[in-house]
Each structure stands twice: as structure tokens, then as C-alpha cells.
Amino acid sequence: MASTILGLSHEMRSSLASWVRHRPSLLASWLRLSSGDPRTSFWASEASYRSDEIEFELKPAKVPGWRLEYKVGMKAGDALLYSLTSNAPVISEFHNEITSNKAVMFYREEQATTASHGQFIAPAAGAHGWYIANTTDEPVKVRLKLSGYYTTTPGLITIE
């Protein structure tokens, strides 16, 4: 087993170190964040955060309704905590579409997961969310729990 520091393998640390060496301002920002600098680790908001729990069922693979997207609207800097669970393995892909230029950024892809949890800070305003697909011959129940600063628009998007 490869040794890890902060959950990163030696290869990942070397790659990250090389990338950061050429971007000293990013290193300074990361050091402020990791040291608990209140300018980067605390955000106040006039609005209260929200929480939602969305449940849906995916049809068996290759049957209409076997895949969908669920997206939320977020402004740059908004935070989101999420927990996606299912009763059978699904493909889960987290991505966004930036409002200003329609660019798409992909963050995380899992080919066969029953649980995916994390946090996300929106790098730009846009629609951020999941593509979820069933690869089994049976219906799959999916639950998505969200908390943070977001709107539920556009919400559930069916894919034919």
C-alpha cells in the first residue's frame, strides 16, 4: 500500500507540488485556508441556508426514465453539502454549466456507487448537479440530501 499524507499518494503529492510551484498565489491562498485564516474559512450570510431531500426512482437500464439529471442553481462562492444514496449501484457524475459562457466543468464521476457524499463551493454562477443512471435490470431508488445556499431550479431534468 502506498503511503499517504493528507489522503494523497506520493505521486499525487508530487503532481500537486509541481502544479502549485508554478502558481505561488494559489499556494498562499491554500496556506491561509489551511491555517484557519478567517478571510477564507468563514462566510457570513444574510439568508439562512436551506435543506432539501429529493427521492426518485430510476427505471431499469435502457428503459425510458433510466437516467436523469438533478441540478441546483448557485452563485459564485455558494456552498453545498450533499449526500446521494441508492439501493443499487448507479453511475453518478457531478458537473456544472456556468451561466456566463455555458462552459461545462466535470468534478466527480463514479461508475458504480450506492453512496456519494461531499461538499462543493461554486466557482462561478450556474447550474450545478448530478447526472445519475441505472445500469441494472431492476428499478433503483435514489435519495439526494442537500444543505447550503442554492435554489432548486432547474431541478429534475429527464433524459430520453
CATH number of the domain that residue 118 is part of: 2.60.120.510
CA angle 122, 147, 115 (to 5 degrees): 90
Instruction: Note whether 37 and 55 are same-domain residues.
Output: no
**Which domain range does residue 65 map to?**
51-158
Residue 87 in this model has a pLDDT that exceeds 70: yes
Q: In this predicted model, which residue has the larger pLDDT, 45 or 32?
A: 45
Instruction: Express as a percent the part of the chain with pLDDT over 90.
Output: 52
Q: In this predicted model, which residue has the larger pLDDT, 47 or 7?
A: 47
Instruction: Note whether 55 and 36 are same-domain residues.
Output: no
Instruction: Note whether 16 and 86 are same-domain residues.
Output: no
Instruction: Note whether 92 and 122 are same-domain residues.
Output: yes
Q: Say which DSSP state 16 is in.
A: H
Pair 122, 73: CB distance under 8 Å: no
Pair 103, 95: CB distance under 8 Å: no
- The pTM (predicted TM-score) of the whole model is 0.72
Residue 48 in this model has a pLDDT that exceeds 80: yes
Helix (H, G, I), strand (E, B) or coil at 144: strand
Helix (H, G, I), strand (E, B) or coil at 56: strand
> 126: phi > 0 → left, psi -120 to 50 → alpha, else beta; which?
left
Residue 44 in this model has a pLDDT that exceeds 90: no
Residue 15 in this model has a pLDDT that exceeds 50: yes
Query: Cis (ω within 30 of 0) for the bond into 154?
Result: yes
pLDDT for res 21: 58
| Average pLDDT score over the chain | 82
Q: In this predicted model, which residue has the larger pLDDT, 70 or 24?
A: 70
- Tally of structural domains, the chain: 2
* Interatomic CA distance for residues 59 and 138, integer angstroms: 7
Pair 108, 16: CB distance under 8 Å: no
pLDDT for res 13: 57
* Interatomic CA distance for residues 135 and 138, integer angstroms: 9
What is the pairing mode between strands 126-134 and 79-98? antiparallel
